[in-house]
Amino acid sequence: MATLADIGVAATINIITAIIFLLAFAILRIQPFNDRVYFPKWYLKGIRSSPLHSGALVSKFVNLNLGSYLRFLNWMPAALKMPEPELIDHAGLDSAVYLRIYLIGLKIFVPIALLAWSILVPVNWTSDGLELAKLRNVTSSDIDKLSISNIESGSDRFWTHLVMAYAFTFWTCYVLMKEYEKVASMRLAFLQNEQRRPDQFTVLVRNVPADPDESISESVEHFFLVNHPDHYLTHQVVYNANELAALVEKKKSTQNWLDYYQLKYTRNQEHRPSIKTGFLGLWGKKVDAIDHYIAEIEKLNEQIMEERKKVKKDDTRVMPSAFVSFKTRWGAAVCAQTQQTNNPTEWLTEWAPEAREVFWSNLAIPYVSLTVRRLVMHVAFFFLTFFFMIPIAFVQSLASIEGIEKSAPFLKPIIEKKFIKSVIQGFLPGIVLKLFMIFLPSILMVMSKFEGFISLSSLERRAASRYYIFNFVNVFLGSIITGSAFEQLDSFLKQSANQIPKTIGVAIPIKATFFITYIMVDGWAGIAGEILRLKPLIFFHIKNFFLVKTEKDREEAMNPGQINFHATEPRIQLYFLLGLVYAPVTPVLLPFIIIFFALAYLVFRHQIINVYNQEYESGAAFWPDVHGRIVSALIISQILLMGLMSTKRAAQSTPFLIALPVLIFFFHRFCKGRYEPAFLRHPLQEAMIKDTLERAREPNFNLKGYLQKAYIHPVFKDDYEDRFDEISGYGLKDSDEECVIVPTKRHSRRTTPAVSHASRGSSPSPSKK
């Protein structure tokens, strides 16, 4: 068990690491040749231009202004200066709301820490449970003196913890509710203030049923002309361009290689570069690299042309999905929220995602397949969660003093040195865990993609919730009850329902020191490392040196990155979980968490303002998930506290504690009903107001023209002009007429739009216009 001294060493190491990172950042960021690494957002916005264009040669690369070195910490206040509305304007609502997660952390834990330190810590400190335990030969660390462990079993002092648990819960719920309210209103205001955007008018229709008489495009048009006669405007079918996209991608990378070799050749004219054509260029025939790649590109160009023609001609390449646009936002809101036909697996409508966040290749998955995919992924995730732990536990057991001594006895003399021992105990377990976790979000993202979500934001949300569960099982539970997750599962199945919280509850105070070091490694040094952007820095300079020829190349080399919601948010949630679990048990942990939240808030605010460039904007659609996870952390913390208390012979507290999860469950239900619809549905009133305002302001706006180009597969983006007539020309041909009567080949159709209109006196008859 780690002592206070161990923690001190770990803290020193981590603080020093963090300070080194921050210092390096402070110095690197004011060097002009790093400008594009640390301020790419401003370049992308077009506000900042390259510093390489002006000034003396040296000062282009190195900052010689000594004054700026003295002010090296001034990025901190600068990061805090931008007010929130400006931030939303600058970086989007997603980023602004993402920052609020850190703020919530501060709002929840600062008052809780104050309360805990002023009440709980003295109560714990003045007890002597550990003194008594020592007589029975139980060892304990200094930190335990401040924790609930120091209270003797059956003591009346546990009432303090009980009351505090209530206080913490109510405070957390209060903050959560206020925040939900605030974010919901921010989202609504954001959507309300937004400019005209295609997705406001557009609905994604999936599972269009096949019709022997009509093409998908005709079928869609007929359906919506009949069922939304006053609102339907136009539509775009979706092409299966996955192969084309792959070809384009391949061409791009080949082009890159060609550029590289050409640059190499221009620098060294004597030696014409050559490559081997085999696997990874390791063996095979040796050919001239430039010629080879030129030939390759030509071949690819041909293939691309051919594939394009195929997509154009081939009806089987039209997927049974379409983006249907309406004349008004009201019409789109109605269509997105209603069921169209008897069969709820056909003509599925949902609000279209922003064009840039559409995940194109999933658009054609049929309904039954979706259920099967979901099942498969759930099972796969179950196995991933419970078997991924085996290597972690193995390495962690190696990384303990005893483990190393056992597996590598020759290291014993080194390890036994006091300092190194502290390093190993305070540092290694966290690092091991960390390394394992780096690759996980990408795996989970692939799983989400397989599951068939169609927008990037929903992909990320699903990956995030899986990551959270993984973190909970493997990092949180896995660290508390060591042993592989499968062993845990097995032992949990064999334990009784009220024994499980006890088993975990008892281990919680013991593991406090481990989590403190984990917070320092992951939360302090890790966050400080984030601001340094070591990887992008190195890659930028490598690219800059080897590949960049034009200003556009330099732009592409920047790689501003973005908040990877699915990778970062679940990690923050772990801190919420730790904070809430340890608040009534070992309040010593809280300051470490508060420092994490404060530092992370600062760092990410800086990064969001200066670096990150979000790929898409979902309007904070992730908030219900964030809220739900904090609530579940709260419930977990109470169940574990209940388990801990009951082992302390404070069983009379159980009925009081059991009421808390029930109350919180209903608090969650209430919040869900009250605020979640703002994130899922689109109120008609808002749509109507926007429609009305817009009609008044721009009565002659050509909406049809505006919308027709909106949802085109990115590989067609560059050449939609010439393909336009053929791809989505169905509506274009008659773009002058407001309403179209489409001849239908089907004779059995009982209602046709023409009849339906002529016989309805009070509504407009398109055939008359």
* Residues of this chain, 488-527, that bind a copy of itself according to CB under 8 A: 492-499
Contact status, residue 511 vs residue 429, Cβ threshold 8 Å: no
The neighbouring-strand residues paired with 206 are 348
Comparison of 213 and 737: residue with beta carbon closer to a copy of itself: 737
Nearer to a copy of itself, 328 or 568 (CB): 328
Task: Kindly indicate which of the ranges 75-83, 265-273, 623-631, 754-762 contains the residues binding a copy of itself, using the contact rule CB under 8 A.
Answer: 754-762
Pick the piece of the chain touching a copy of itself (CB under 8 A) from 288-296, 355-363, 506-514, 752-760: 752-760
Neighbour count for residue 606 (Cβ, 10 Å): 22
Q: CA-CA distances (angstroms) from residue 124 to 121, 146, 277, 649? A: 5, 5, 71, 16
- For 264-317, the DSSP string reads HHHH-TTS--EEE-SGGGSSS-EEEHHHHHHHHHHHHHHHHHHHHHHHHH-GGG
Q: How far apart are CA 288 and CA 534, in angstroms?
A: 35
Residue 682 in the binding site for a copy of itself (CB under 8 A) = yes
Indicate the residue among 39 and 679 with the shorter CB distance to a copy of itself: 679
Q: Which of residues 191 and 633 has its CB atom nearest to a copy of itself in the complex?
A: 191
Cβ proximity to a copy of itself, 191 vs 712, nearer residue:
191
287 binds a copy of itself (CB under 8 A): no
Query: Which part of the chain contacts a copy of itself (CB under 8 A), choosing from 115-123, 534-542, 608-616, 678-686?
Result: 678-686
Query: Which is closer to a copy of itself, CB of 49 or CB of 371?
Result: 371
3-state secondary structure of 483: coil
The interface with a copy of itself within residues 319-348 (CB under 8 A) comprises 327-328, 333-334, 337-342, 344-345, 347
Chain positions 715 to 744 lying near a copy of itself, rule: CB under 8 A, are 738-739
CA distance linking residue 427 with residue 398, whole number of Å? 13
Residues 6+ apart with CB under 8 A from 474: 385, 388, 389, 392, 485
List binders of a copy of itself among 583-642 (CB under 8 A).
none
Q: Which helix (H) or strand (E) holds 203?
A: strand 202-206
- Min. distance of Cβ 503 from a copy of itself in angstroms? 11
Binding a copy of itself (rule: CB under 8 A), the pick from 142, 152, 230, 405 is 230
Query: Which residues ranging from 534 to 593 are in contact with a copy of itself (CB under 8 A)?
Result: none
Note whether 675 binds a copy of itself by CB under 8 A. yes
Burial string for 148-168 (b: 16+ CB within 10 Å, else e) reads bbbbbeeeebbebbbebbbbb
Terminus-to-terminus CA distance in the chain, angstroms? Answer: 84
155 binds a copy of itself (CB under 8 A): no
Tell me whether residue 137 or residue 762 sits nearer to a copy of itself (CB atom).
762
Closest CA to 205 of 334, 347, 330, 332: 347
CB 436 within 8 A of CB 391: yes
Amino acid at 549: K
Q: Is 674 in the site for a copy of itself (CB under 8 A)?
A: yes
CB 690 → a copy of itself: shortest distance, Å? Answer: 10
What is the C-alpha to C-alpha distance for residues 464 and 357, in angstroms, rounded to an integer?
A: 17
Chosen residue from 56, 70, 368, 438 binding a copy of itself by CB under 8 A: 368
Asked if residue 691 binds a copy of itself (CB under 8 A), the reply is yes
Of the pair 346, 617, the CB lying nearest a copy of itself is at 346
Strand partners, 590: none
Applying CB under 8 A, among 366, 677, 705, 714 the residue interacting with a copy of itself is: 677
CB-nearer residue toward a copy of itself: 502 or 648: 502
Among 114, 138, 375, 435, binds a copy of itself (CB under 8 A): 375
Minimum distance from CB of 617 to a copy of itself (Å)? Answer: 19
CB of 230 to a copy of itself, least distance (A): 6
Give yes or no for a contact between 335 and 348, defined as CB atoms under 8 angstroms apart: no
Q: Binding of a copy of itself at residue 651 (CB under 8 A)?
A: no
CB of 157 to a copy of itself, least distance (A): 26
Which residue lies nearer to a copy of itself by CB, 47 or 375?
A: 375
Return the range that interacts with a copy of itself (CB under 8 A); candidates 86-94, 552-560, 662-670, 724-732. Answer: 662-670
Q: Residues touching a copy of itself: how many (CB under 8 A)?
A: 72
Contact pick of 31, 227, 303, 361 for a copy of itself (by CB under 8 A)? 227
Please report whether residue 764 would count as binding a copy of itself according to CB under 8 A: yes
Residue 238 Cβ, how far from a copy of itself at the closest point, in Å? 22
Strand partners, 140: none
Near a copy of itself by CB under 8 A, which window of 109-117, 364-372, 462-470, 568-576? 364-372
Please report whether residue 702 would count as binding a copy of itself according to CB under 8 A: no
Question: Which residues contact residue 265 at a Cβ distance below 8 angstroms, ignoring those fewer than 6 apart?
Answer: 272, 273, 290
If binding is defined by CB under 8 A, does position 134 make contact with a copy of itself?
A: no
Instruction: Say whether residue 188 binds a copy of itself (CB under 8 A).
Output: yes
Contacts of 711 (CB under 8 A, 6+ apart): 198, 202, 236, 238, 323, 352, 355, 358
If you search the block for the tokens 């190349």, which residue do you land on?
553
**Which of 226, 595, 635, 742 touches a copy of itself by CB under 8 A?**
226
**Does the footprint of a copy of itself cover residue 142 (CB under 8 A)?**
no
Question: Which residue in 678, 707, 712, 715 binds a copy of itself (CB under 8 A)?
Answer: 678
Residue 432: name the closest of 490, 499, 348, 517 by CA.
517
Cα distance between residue 373 and residue 387, in whole Å: 21
CB of 307 closer than 8 Å to CB of 247: yes
Backbone angles phi, psi at 288, to 5 degrees: -70, 125
How many whole angstroms separate alpha carbon 643 and alpha carbon 653?
A: 11
Q: Is 16 in the site for a copy of itself (CB under 8 A)?
A: no
